[in-house]
Amino acid sequence: MLPLEIYTFRYSKYRTIILKYSSSHPGCMTISRKVKRVLDGDTFQTHRKVNGSNYIRLAGVNAPEKYQSGGREATQRLKRQIQGKTVTLQPVGKSYSRVVAKVRVNRRLLR
């Protein structure tokens, strides 16, 4: 039996969607999107929306904000890795109206 993960997505003010799926299944809930711009070291914007938002935050990454020490370097590093490229997203939740997702570029997970 495959292990199940449960993720809750807020659909609107009154509706919440709960997704149950196995993370061990390779094609499970993955979405490809082209990166429009990088906002800071752990957040970027896509051309098309994903689960109601086109702002994506990297899951498991806590980079400094632009104005904090190291923030500019973190932003530049993420730009070099994904700016203008097509990424594969695996949504895991929402935070501050942004989709939190595991992000892959050329099959490599960003951390």
* CATH code for the domain in which residue 54 is found: 2.40.50.90
Q: How many CB atoms lie within 10 A of CB 92?
A: 18
**Residue 2: per-residue pLDDT:** 41
Structurally, the chain folds into a number of domains equal to 1
69 within a domain of the structure (yes/no) = yes
Tell me the β-bridge partners of 93. 100
Contact 44, 82 (CB under 8 A): yes
Tell me which residue range forms the domain holding 65. 30-109
23 within a domain of the structure (yes/no) = no
Residues 89 and 106: their CA atoms lie apart, in Å, by: 12
Question: Residues 77-100: pLDDT tens digits?
Answer: 999 999 999 999 999 988 888 999
**Residue 96: per-residue pLDDT:** 87
> In 3-state terms, what secondary structure has residue 47?
strand
